[in-house]
Amino acid sequence: MRRVLVLVAALVALACCTPESPPNVALSSSNKSIAIIAAIPPQIRLATTGLTVFDNSLDVADVPEWRLDSVARDAAVHALSSRYRIAYAMTDSQFADPESRLEVALDDTTTIQTYARSHARTDSPVDLFVILCLSARAFPYTDYPDVFQFIGVSKLRDPILTRAPVVHSYVLATILDGRTFKIIADTPLFLPPHKRTSWMAWGVGGNYPEEQLQDFQWKDLWRNLTTDQKNLIRDRIIYLLSTSTYYTLQTTLMAGGS
């Protein structure tokens, strides 16, 4: 019984722990090839949260022309190609992983492992898979505020303080063994130390890919934003996604993070 209680306590601690930086994984030199799957859907969220549910809104905008999957994949290739042979890889779908850290700790097989087995295709066998996807485990908090999720722009309405909207790109990187699909490591994407935000960020120490849009005239719906506003959001999301992908994979896969 005591062992069970200890296990439960450990799992609860795991579930509540918010990662603060990428892991540095010591991989065997026999790992020479890698396939990169960027399973990121061509959508962003505009989310608003107020004092009551009547002040809340969520607008999901389709942005296929931004090619977010290609942005992440290109950054990953740039980060890893000096050390690994990059295998051609493709997938027939994108998805968002809903599992919490506690659910993953309790499951024998995760949603990401099942996805990789079922949907990832390569032109030749590989030693490693990198799966980049939206995930609940990539958020920089454990509960509040729920408005800040996945890729998009979020606004907290405050009757007292003026809060700038926050643009964010919360993505999870999972490294799998290419033969067994065993998880070697997973981590949220992080910004490098010299590019982290100095404002009071939602992420731990400003490590997560997010930044404020100062003097931004907020609209709850994508269609009501101006072309300049949409272009600004696009540019900042692409910057956050590409920068965090490059830094995190270099650090995690020991390719000399910078």
Type and span of the H or E element at 227: helix 227-252
pLDDT digits (tens, 9 = 90+) for 191-242: 998 888 776 666 666 799 999 999 999 999 999 999 999 999 999 999 999 9
Output the six-digit token pair for 70.
Answer: 């290609």
Spatial neighbors of 81 by CB under 8 A, at least 6 apart, are none
CA 94 to each of CA 31, 41, 132, 193, 220: distance values in angstroms, whole numbers, following the listed order = 26, 5, 10, 30, 26
pLDDT digits (tens, 9 = 90+) for 146-189: 667 899 999 887 767 678 999 999 999 999 999 999 999 999 99
**Whole-model pTM?**
0.87
> Crossing angle, helix 68-80 and helix 227-252, to 10 degrees?
30
In whole angstroms, what is the distance from residue 192 CA to residue 245 CA? 10
Q: Sign of the CA dihedral 73, 76, 82, 84?
A: negative
In this predicted structure, what is the pLDDT of residue 132? 96
User: What is the greatest pairwise CA distance in the chain?
Assistant: 61
Q: Taking CA 94 as the corner, what is the angle to CA 67 and CA 18, rounded to the nearest 5 degrees?
A: 95
In whole angstroms, what is the distance from residue 128 CA to residue 223 CA? 41
- Give the residue among 112, 58, 73, 93 at the shortest CA–CA distance from 241: 73
The torsion angle over the Cα atoms of residues 97, 46, 22 and 95, rounded to 10 degrees, is 20
Q: Sign of the CA dihedral 158, 141, 147, 199?
A: positive
pLDDT digits (tens, 9 = 90+) for 72-128: 999 999 999 999 999 988 887 877 887 777 777 777 788 899 888 888 888 889 999
